[in-house]
């Protein structure tokens, strides 16, 4: 099991920890110093603070109010944007799906022909595609990245995503391309190492019941 460690951004230090959540967003952007800036380019992960009102719906996807969900947790909760324009956010849940004995010589060209996927590496030993969404979303830091497909030695395919919705989206795309030919994958979930909130924070305490 891989441990996914979330580093607290400097900007979050100036905010009350119970007034919002952290948001992890991943971008792809060209790397100007490379001979070919587009290949492979670079992936940049940014963690930012997102203010949330106590009476707003929590961004983790629970559909509960923030005050009844992540607000009182002792650790900074982390969300990530889902693919698509209106799918909102979801709690961070990094995991992977591994398919073995795939026909990479057929799958690779199919990935190349799909406009939703961007190839950043293509060698005999390893090919790598990023899913940019449909449509792709361009931000000041680069094109938003919602997951990856990695093909090893043309026979093992690894799909990685940071949320359950992202993984479902990637697996649906894969099924659209290959049908049922790949079978069931091996699913592996990473453990997320969250940062603890400051102990002096003025956290909302649960209401005690009055004695009868």
**Structure confidence at residue 22 (pLDDT):** 93
Percent of the chain beyond pLDDT 90? 64
Q: Which CATH number fits domain 95-189: 1.20.1300, 2.60.40, 3.30.310, 3.40.50?
A: 3.30.310
Q: What is the pLDDT along the chain (212 residues), one digit of tens a residue?
A: 578 888 888 777 677 888 999 999 999 998 888 888 888 888 999 999 999 999 999 999 999 999 999 998 999 999 999 987 667 899 999 999 999 999 999 999 999 999 999 998 999 899 999 999 888 888 899 999 999 999 999 999 999 999 999 999 999 999 999 998 899 999 999 999 988 887 654 445 444 444 44
**Structure confidence at residue 201 (pLDDT):** 44
**Structure confidence at residue 200 (pLDDT):** 53
**Structure confidence at residue 85 (pLDDT):** 61
The three state secondary structure string of the chain is: CCEEECCCCHHHHHCCHHHEEEEEEEEEECCCCCCCCCCCCEEEEEEEEEECCCCCECCCCCCCEHHHCCCCCCECCEEEECCCCCCCEEECCCEEEEEECCCHHHHHHHHHCCCCEEEEEECCCEEEEEECCCCCCEECCEEECCCEEEEECCCEEEEEECCHHHHHHHHHHHHHHHCCCCCCCEEEECEEECCECCCCCCCCCCCCCCCC
**Structure confidence at residue 67 (pLDDT):** 95
Q: What predicted TM-score, i.e. pTM, was given to this entire model?
A: 0.87
Q: Where are the domains of the chain?
A: 3-92, 95-189
**Structure confidence at residue 202 (pLDDT):** 47
């Amino acid at each position: 099991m891989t441990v996914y460690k979330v580093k607290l951004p400097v900007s979050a230090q100036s905010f009350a920890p119970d007034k919002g959540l952290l948001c992890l967003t991943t971008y792809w952007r060209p790397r100007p110093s490379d001979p070919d800036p587009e290949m492979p380019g670079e992936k940049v992960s940014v963690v930012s603070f997102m203010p949330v009102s106590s009476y707003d719906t929590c961004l983790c996807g629970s559909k509960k109010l923030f005050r009844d969900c992540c607000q009182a947790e002792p650790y900074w909760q982390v969300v990530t944007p889902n693919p698509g324009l209106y799918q909102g956010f979801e709690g961070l849940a990094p995991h992977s799906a591994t398919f073995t004995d795939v026909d990479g010589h057929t799958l690779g060209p199919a990935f190349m022909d799909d406009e939703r996927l961007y190839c950043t590496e293509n060698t005999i030993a390893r090919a790598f595609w990023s899913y940019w969404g449909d449509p792709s979303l361009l931000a000041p830091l680069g094109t938003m990245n919602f997951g990856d497909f990695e093909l090893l030695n043309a026979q093992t395919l690894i799909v990685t995503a940071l949320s359950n919705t992202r993984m479902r989206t990637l697996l649906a795309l894969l099924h659209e391309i290959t049908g049922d030919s790949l079978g069931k994958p091996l699913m592996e979930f990473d453990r997320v190492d969250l940062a603890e909130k400051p102990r002096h924070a003025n956290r909302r305490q649960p209401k005690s019941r009055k004695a009868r």
